[in-house]
């Protein structure tokens, strides 16, 4: 399934209106913020339709998933938007992650905990807020809002240490950029190791570079360390390959359209996370050329001055 979908669900007392942009959306928040009410309304409408007193508008079927028969239900669900409440422990399992990866559905998951088995974007973590009475009547209007804004920091921020999530071409690039700089560049060898490295680091000023497309499960605890140290800056592009594609060093007629609206091109069954799509796209567009890209080992051409500068120019808020 591709694309973004607007969902409007309402009854006589409440109305929710929001847009789902990727295959995994996370809704968070404290009790009594309307998360469970939303899921219950989706379930009631799916079971009883308009007889439930609920109105639901969306271009794709919306349903809920729960109980110990969740896997059987999910196998029968195609090209739908599936809502899962946080009281379903299966969302923490590898089995659920595998089943979701192999499906063509989108998922909206209500949870207060990070879900390390699922590669979800920092940009797709939302809270629910009430905007008061809707249109002057007795209906409360709810909308989703981004919990995490942009991670901006001063261009004057010069680190002592750069921690790169990647251990392959992305890490080699940033290590090459920093070869003659007064800071060290190290690989975390995976997003789950960044928190530990921040805890153990002796450096006073640290930059973290990670793939925002799949960093959602780690962002909370990394931010806690960043806020505690007050000298940690976080840079979260979709992926290193996304940076390269945005830099303009690769020429392809349809590329800008893809970058402007990637969700319209990324098939969720084929690419569980957007970072994988951008890797595949960069490999495909550079095959057989001077900039031929490989994930495991960086083509030295990417460290040539003009190309390197065009890529690092995409990092608007940091001097590397």
Return the CATH number at 130: 3.40.50
* pLDDT at 135 exceeding the cut of 50: no
Binned at pLDDT 50, 70 and 90, residue 181 comes out as: confident
Of 118, 146, 174, the one marking the end of a domain is 146
Report the pLDDT averaged over residues 117-126: 95
* pLDDT at 31 exceeding the cut of 80: no
Give the whole-angstrom CA distance, residue 268 versus residue 262: 11
Give the whole-angstrom CA distance, residue 281 versus residue 312: 20
Rg (CA), the chain: 21
Q: Give the structural domain span for 88.
A: 5-146
Q: Can you name the residues that pair with 141 across neighbouring β-strands? A: 15
- Do 124 and 235 belong to one domain? no
Residues above pLDDT 70, as percent of the chain: 93
153 within a domain of the structure (yes/no): no
Report the pLDDT averaged over residues 296-314: 94
318 within a domain of the structure (yes/no): no
pLDDT in tens, 196-247: 999 999 998 999 999 999 999 999 999 988 888 778 888 999 999 999 999 9
In sequence order, which residues have a C-beta less than 8 Å from that of residue 267 and are 6 or more positions away?
1, 2, 104
DSSP string covering 176-206: HHTTTSSSEEEE-SSGGGHHHHHHH---SSE
Tokens 């007629």 belong to residue: 253
Binned at pLDDT 50, 70 and 90, residue 276 comes out as: very high
- Do 136 and 191 belong to one domain? no
Q: Which pLDDT value is given to residue 136?
A: 46
* pLDDT at 315 exceeding the cut of 80: no
- DSSP strand pairing (5-10 vs 14-20): antiparallel
- Do 186 and 54 belong to one domain? no
Count of structural domains, the chain: 2
Report the pLDDT averaged over residues 162-180: 93
Are 295 and 169 within 8 A, CB to CB?
Answer: yes
- Do 117 and 242 belong to one domain? no
Give the whole-angstrom CA distance, residue 4 versus residue 22: 7
- Do 177 and 66 belong to one domain? no
Written as six digits, the tokens of 25 are: 């959306």
CA 113 to chain CA centroid, Å, is 15
- Do 165 and 305 belong to one domain? yes
Question: What is the arrangement of strands in the sheet containing 206-209, beginning at the earlier edge strand?
Answer: 184-187, 161-164, 206-209, 232-235
Give the whole-angstrom CA distance, residue 20 versus residue 29: 18
Q: Can you name the residues that pair with 208 across neighbouring β-strands? A: 163, 234
Give the whole-angstrom CA distance, residue 217 versus residue 120: 7
Give the whole-angstrom CA distance, residue 221 versus residue 195: 7
Tokens 């970058």 belong to residue: 259
Mean pLDDT of the chain: 90
Strand segments (E) across the chain? 5-10, 14-20, 24-27, 55-57, 62-64, 81-84, 106-110, 125-133, 140-146, 161-164, 184-187, 206-209, 232-235
Binned at pLDDT 50, 70 and 90, residue 18 comes out as: very high
67 within a domain of the structure (yes/no): yes
Report the pLDDT averaged over residues 269-288: 95
156 within a domain of the structure (yes/no): no
Helix, strand or coil for residue 228? helix
- Do 190 and 67 belong to one domain? no
- Do 195 and 109 belong to one domain? no
Nearest to 142 by CA among 36, 22, 24, 4: 36
197 within a domain of the structure (yes/no): yes
- Do 103 and 170 belong to one domain? no
**Which range is least confidently modeled, 104-118, 131-145, 240-254?**
131-145
267 within a domain of the structure (yes/no): yes
Report the pLDDT averaged over residues 135-151: 73
Binned at pLDDT 50, 70 and 90, residue 151 comes out as: low
Of 82, 114, 146, the one marking the end of a domain is 146
- Do 192 and 286 belong to one domain? yes
* pLDDT at 27 exceeding the cut of 60: yes
- Do 102 and 38 belong to one domain? yes
Of 111, 146, 181, the one marking the end of a domain is 146
154 within a domain of the structure (yes/no): no
- Do 11 and 79 belong to one domain? yes
320 within a domain of the structure (yes/no): no
Tokens 């060290």 belong to residue: 184
């Amino acid at each position: 399934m591709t694309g973004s979908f607007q969902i409007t669900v309402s009854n006589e007392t409440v109305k929710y209106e929001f847009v789902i942009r990727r295959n995994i959306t996370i809704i968070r928040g404290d009790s009594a913020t309307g998360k469970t009410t939303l899921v219950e309304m989706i379930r009631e409408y799916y079971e009883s339709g308009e007889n439930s007193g609920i109105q639901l508008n969306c271009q794709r079927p919306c349903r809920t998933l729960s109980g110990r028969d969740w896997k059987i239900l999910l196998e029968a669900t195609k090209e739908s938007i599936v809502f899962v409440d946080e009281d379903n422990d299966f969302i923490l399992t590898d089995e659920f992650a595998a089943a979701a990866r192999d499906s063509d559905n989108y998922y909206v998951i209500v949870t207060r905990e990070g879900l390390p088995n699922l590669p979800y974007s920092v940009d797709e973590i939302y809270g629910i807020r009430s905007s008061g009475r809707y249109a002057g009547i007795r209906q409360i209007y709810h909308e989703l809002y981004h919990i995490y804004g942009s991670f901006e920091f001063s261009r004057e921020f010069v680190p002592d240490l750069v921690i790169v999530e990647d251990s392959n071409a992305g890490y080699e690039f940033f290590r090459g950029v920093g070869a003659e700089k007064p800071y060290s560049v190290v690989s975390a060898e995976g997003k789950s190791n960044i928190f530990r490295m921040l805890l153990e680091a002796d450096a006073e000023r640290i930059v973290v570079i990670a793939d925002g497309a799949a960093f959602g499960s780690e962002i909370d605890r990394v931010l806690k360390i960043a806020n505690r140290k007050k000298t940690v800056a976080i840079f979260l592009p979709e992926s290193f390959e996304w940076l390269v594609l945005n830099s303009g060093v690769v020429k392809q007629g349809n590329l800008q359209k893809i970058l402007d609206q990637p969700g319209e091109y990324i098939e969720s069954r084929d690419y569980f996370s957007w970072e994988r799509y951008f890797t595949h796209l960069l490999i495909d567009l550079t095959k057989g050329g001077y900039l031929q890209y490989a994930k495991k080992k960086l083509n030295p051409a990417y460290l040539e001055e003009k190309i390197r500068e065009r890529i690092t120019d995409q990092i608007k808020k940091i001097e590397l």
